A and B are shown apart, each in its own frame.
Chain A
Amino acid sequence: MNAPRDPQSELRQLVRPPVGKRVDSELAFHIEMRTRELIAQGMSAEEARRAAIARFGNLDDVSSTLVKLGTETEGIMRRTRFISEAVHDARLALRMLVPRRGFAVLAIGTLALGIGAATAIYSVVDGVLLRPLPFDEPDRIAAVWITQPTLAHDPAISWLADGTPLGASEYQSLQRDAKTLRDLALYDVGGTVTLTTVAGTERLPALTATSSLLQVLHAHPALGRNFVPAENVLNGPNVALVSWEAWRDRFGSDSSFVGRRITLNDVPFEIIGVLPPGLQIDRSAEAPAFWLPALRDSFDIPARHNRGYRALARLANGVSYQAATRDAARVLRASGDTLLGARVEPWLRDQTRAARGPLLVLLAAAGLLLLIACVNVAILQLGEASARAREMATRAALGAGAARLVRQLLTESVVIAFLSAILGTALAWLMLRALIAIAPERLPGMDSVSIDGRVLAFALVCAAMTGVLFGIVPAMTAGRAGASAIVRSGAGQSGHGARRVQRSLIALQLALSLVLLVEAVLLSTSLRKLSLVNPGFRPAGLTAVKVTLPRRYGDEPTRAFTASVIQRLSSYPGVERVTAATHVPFVSRGSSSPIELDRRSDVPPPPPHHTQQRYVEPGFFEVLGMRLVSGRFFNADDRANGELVAIVSASEVARDFAGRSPLGRQVKHQGQWRRIVGVVADVKYRDLAKEDEATIYVPFDQYVDASPVFLIRGSVAVGIAPAFKALLHELEPRATVTTISSVPTVIEKSYAAERYRTLLVSAFGAMAALLAAIGLYGVSIRTAKGRTRELGIRLALGGTSATVLRLLVKDAMAGVAIGLVVGVPAALLAGKMVAPYLFGISPDDPLVFFAVGVLLLTATAVASAIPAWKAGRLNPATVLRAD
Chain B
Amino acid sequence: MAPSSRDQLRGTLELLILRTLTWGPRHGYAIARWLEDSTSAAIRVEEGSLYPALYRMEKRGLIASDWQRSELGRPAKFYRLTPAGRRHLKQEAAEWLAFAQAVTLVLARAS
Q: Which residues of A contact B (CB under 8 A)?
A: 1, 22, 25-27, 29-30, 32-34, 55-58, 61-62, 65-66, 69-70, 72-73, 76
Of the residues B46, B51, B58, B74, contact of A73 by C-beta under 8 Å: B58
B10 contacts chain A at the CB level, 8 A cutoff: no
Given A26-B76, A30-B29, A55-B47, CB of A1 within 8 Å of CB of B55: no
Report which residue of A1, A30, A34 has the largest number of chain B beta carbons within 10 angstroms of its beta carbon: A30
Of the residues A22, A29, A69, A72, contact of B29 by C-beta under 8 Å: A29
Report which residue of A29, A61, A65, A76 has the largest number of chain B beta carbons within 10 angstroms of its beta carbon: A29
- The complex places the Cα of A61 from the Cα of B58 at a distance, in Å, of 19
Q: Considering the complex, which residues of chain B in the window 32-84 have a beta carbon less than 8 Å from any beta carbon of chain A?
A: 32, 46-48, 51-52, 55-56, 58-59, 61, 64, 70, 72, 74-77, 82
Nearest-neighbor residue (CB-CB) of B52 within chain A? A65
B27 contacts chain A at the CB level, 8 A cutoff: yes
- The complex places the Cα of A27 from the Cα of B76 at a distance, in Å, of 10
B28 contacts chain A at the CB level, 8 A cutoff: yes
Q: A29-B77, A61-B48, A69-B56 are in contact. List 20 more A-B contacts (CB 8 A).
A: A1-B61, A1-B82, A25-B75, A26-B77, A29-B27, A30-B47, A33-B72, A34-B29, A56-B47, A57-B46, A57-B47, A58-B48, A65-B55, A69-B55, A69-B59, A70-B55, A72-B59, A73-B55, A73-B59, A76-B59
**13 CB-based A-B contacts, threshold 8 Å:** A26-B27, A26-B76, A27-B51, A29-B74, A29-B77, A30-B28, A30-B51, A34-B29, A56-B47, A57-B47, A65-B55, A66-B51, A76-B59
| A23 → chain B closest CB, angstroms | 8
| B48 → chain A closest CB, angstroms | 3
Of the residues A29, A33, A34, A56, contact of B48 by C-beta under 8 Å: A56
Nearest 9 pairs of A and B residues by beta carbon:
A57-B48, A69-B55, A73-B59, A33-B29, A26-B77, A30-B29, A56-B47, A29-B76, A65-B52
| Chain B residues positioned under 8 Å from A70 (CB to CB) | 55
- The complex places the Cα of A343 from the Cα of B4 at a distance, in Å, of 74
B contacts with A, residue count (CB < 8 A)? 22
| Chain A residues positioned under 8 Å from B74 (CB to CB) | 29
- The complex places the Cα of A70 from the Cα of B56 at a distance, in Å, of 8
| Chain B residues positioned under 8 Å from A34 (CB to CB) | 29
| Chain B residues positioned under 8 Å from A69 (CB to CB) | 52, 55-56, 58-59
Nearest-neighbor residue (CB-CB) of A75 within chain B? B59
- The complex places the Cα of A57 from the Cα of B70 at a distance, in Å, of 24
- The complex places the Cα of A57 from the Cα of B50 at a distance, in Å, of 11
Nearest-neighbor residue (CB-CB) of B28 within chain A? A30
| Chain B residues positioned under 8 Å from A61 (CB to CB) | 48
| Chain B residues positioned under 8 Å from A33 (CB to CB) | 29, 72
Nearest-neighbor residue (CB-CB) of B64 within chain A? A1
| Chain A residues positioned under 8 Å from B28 (CB to CB) | 26, 29-30
Nearest-neighbor residue (CB-CB) of B82 within chain A? A1
| Chain A residues positioned under 8 Å from B51 (CB to CB) | 26-27, 30, 62, 66
The answer to whether A29 touches B58 (Cβ under 8 A) is no
| Chain A residues positioned under 8 Å from B76 (CB to CB) | 26, 29
- The complex places the Cα of A65 from the Cα of B55 at a distance, in Å, of 9
- The complex places the Cα of A547 from the Cα of B74 at a distance, in Å, of 104
| Chain B residues positioned under 8 Å from A29 (CB to CB) | 27-29, 70, 72, 74, 76-77
The answer to whether B55 touches A66 (Cβ under 8 A) is yes
- The complex places the Cα of A27 from the Cα of B52 at a distance, in Å, of 11
- The complex places the Cα of A33 from the Cα of B55 at a distance, in Å, of 20
- The complex places the Cα of A69 from the Cα of B65 at a distance, in Å, of 14
- The complex places the Cα of A1 from the Cα of B66 at a distance, in Å, of 13
Q: Considering the complex, which residues of chain B in the window 71-99 have a beta carbon less than 8 Å from any beta carbon of chain A?
A: 72, 74-77, 82
- The complex places the Cα of A142 from the Cα of B77 at a distance, in Å, of 71
- The complex places the Cα of A76 from the Cα of B58 at a distance, in Å, of 10
| B65 → chain A closest CB, angstroms | 9
- The complex places the Cα of A22 from the Cα of B28 at a distance, in Å, of 13
| Chain B residues positioned under 8 Å from A55 (CB to CB) | 47
| A15 → chain B closest CB, angstroms | 12
| Chain B residues positioned under 8 Å from A57 (CB to CB) | 46-48
Nearest-neighbor residue (CB-CB) of A65 within chain B? B52
Nearest-neighbor residue (CB-CB) of B31 within chain A? A30
- The complex places the Cα of A62 from the Cα of B50 at a distance, in Å, of 10
Nearest-neighbor residue (CB-CB) of A30 within chain B? B29
Nearest-neighbor residue (CB-CB) of B71 within chain A? A33
| Chain A residues positioned under 8 Å from B46 (CB to CB) | 57
- The complex places the Cα of A22 from the Cα of B27 at a distance, in Å, of 13
The answer to whether B48 touches A62 (Cβ under 8 A) is yes
| B84 → chain A closest CB, angstroms | 8
Nearest-neighbor residue (CB-CB) of A59 within chain B? B48
The answer to whether B72 touches A32 (Cβ under 8 A) is yes
| Chain B residues positioned under 8 Å from A25 (CB to CB) | 75
Nearest-neighbor residue (CB-CB) of B27 within chain A? A29
Nearest-neighbor residue (CB-CB) of A27 within chain B? B51
The answer to whether A22 touches B77 (Cβ under 8 A) is yes
Nearest-neighbor residue (CB-CB) of A9 within chain B? B66
The answer to whether B52 touches A62 (Cβ under 8 A) is yes
